[in-house]
Amino acid sequence: MFQALKPVATQAFDAAFGYEPQRWVQAPGRVNLIGEHTDYNDGFVLPCAINFGTVIAASARTDTTVRVVAADYRGEVDVFRLDQDILPLAEGTWPNYVRGVVKYLQAHGLALQGADLALSGDVPQGAGLSSSASLEVAVAQAFKTLQGWDGLSPTDMALIAQRAENRFVGCNCGIMDQLVSARGEAGSALLIDCRSHDTRAVPLPPDVAVMIVHSRVRRGLVGSEYNIRRQQCEAAAQHYGVRALRDLSLARLEADAGDLDATVLRRARHIVTENQRTLDAAAVLAAGDLRQMGVLMAASHVSMRDDFEITHPAVDELVEILQTAIGESGGARMTGGGFGGCAVALLPMAHVAAVRRAVEKNYRSPTGEVGTVYVCQASAGAGQVA
């Protein structure tokens, strides 16, 4: 996995720094099968790591300088020092993801040495497949590998990466993206309890394909509606006097709504019902019941569209095309933070060609683009690349 990215990162490293790297590491992106926006509500999610991600070619230095080259950004280089305050650059620029992780590795109490790093990735950006989490976890993995931090667990790396995105980059994401990137298991989805960070592998049937279709509607999280949704969920939890919406039952949601703002009530209803759908989905997927999994995925999409209001008309159309082509043999839904991005579908491998043709024939983005289809493998989490 990621072997194609290794020479790209190596070439960028040699071009920027003039010598061969010592180590190569990777961290995957992810697709969320079900459980949207439940993670920052201490709820449950069911993502899987995918065979698209970030590879870093890396070498340790003997000083406090960190040099980073981005192969995918025309070889742009960022340089900063560990013995000076690490500050963000312009909002939305790639060095902030690296700088933030390094800053919070230090805040975790780890003694860092300098490093030279070359980054290369193939996660489609702006598609809701967690290119940012993949990069963040890969940076943590690079320093762990270079400095031999055996005590730094995958969960530690995920929490540090999340902290960097929350506090340094400025996006209040939950733990899901970073945790599945760090802890994914090959051939399985990962049921994550976002409060305890406990995970349980949910094996995918061997004949099932994970299809991701990019709507070609680009999306953004920082400075978008994402943070507003989080604030609305927090307001609902405060109204009901619970720590998080994970602790709220559907019966109490309806009985004690009182004068709660109608929009906030809809947001809360999505989270409460989505948590239960996610737990149900883990059970039916483990049993190999793709028909019922499709029912749950369809209900999830409707809830995201009507209660959480994070879908896009083009993505709604794409999901309908997918579901019509799949029939009762699987399901489809929007995946990711919303407002564009991707749809995910679970379907028998034998149906992939027909569903791909249906997308190519029937779907066009608002700007006339054909949806991009990726057929993915559920992959292992971060680690070294041989």
Of 1-5, 141-145, 217-221, the range with the highest mean pLDDT is: 141-145
Asked whether residue 338 carries a pLDDT value surpassing 80, the answer given is: yes
In a domain, 55, yes or no: yes
Residue 41 carries which DSSP code? G
Does residue 5 sit in helix, strand or coil?
helix
In a domain, 164, yes or no: yes
Q: Which CATH number do you get for residue 87?
A: 3.30.230.10
| Token pair for 85 | 């305050």
Q: Which residues contact 124 (CB under 8 A, 6 or more apart)?
A: 52, 131, 214, 342, 372, 374
pLDDT at 1: 65
pLDDT at 222: 40
More confident residue, 150 or 144: 144
Q: What is the pLDDT of residues 312-335, one digit of tens each?
A: 999 999 999 999 999 999 999 999
In a domain, 217, yes or no: no
Among residues 39, 72, 116, 177, the one annotated as catalytic is: 177
Please count the structural domains in the chain.
1
Q: Which residues contact 122 (CB under 8 A, 6 or more apart)?
A: 4, 5, 52, 53
pLDDT at 365: 96
Q: What is the mean pLDDT of residues 215-234?
A: 80
Asked whether residue 34 carries a pLDDT value surpassing 50, the answer given is: yes
Asked whether residue 219 carries a pLDDT value surpassing 80, the answer given is: no
d(CA 354, CA 346): 14
In a domain, 360, yes or no: no
d(CA 250, CA 228): 22
- Angle, vertex CA 45, rays to CA 47 and CA 181, nearest 5: 40
In a domain, 271, yes or no: no
Catalytic residue check, 177: yes
**Exposure b/e, 297-335, CB count within 10 A at least 16 = b:** bbbbbbbbbebbebbbebbbbbbbbbbebbeebbbbbbb
In a domain, 245, yes or no: no
DSSP H or E stretch at residue 24: strand 23-34
Predicted structure pTM score: 0.91
More confident residue, 217 or 78: 78
Going from the C-alpha of 92 to that of each of 44, 89, 200, the distances in angstroms are 28, 8, 33
Q: What is the pLDDT of residues 163-184, one digit of tens each?
A: 999 999 988 788 999 999 999 9
Sign of the torsion angle spanned by Cα atoms 351, 320, 339, 264: negative
Going from the C-alpha of 80 to that of each of 12, 76, 104, 167, the distances in angstroms are 18, 14, 15, 19
In a domain, 176, yes or no: yes
In a domain, 364, yes or no: no
pLDDT bracket for residue 92 (50, 70, 90): confident
Q: Which domain holds residue 154?
A: 5-32+41-201
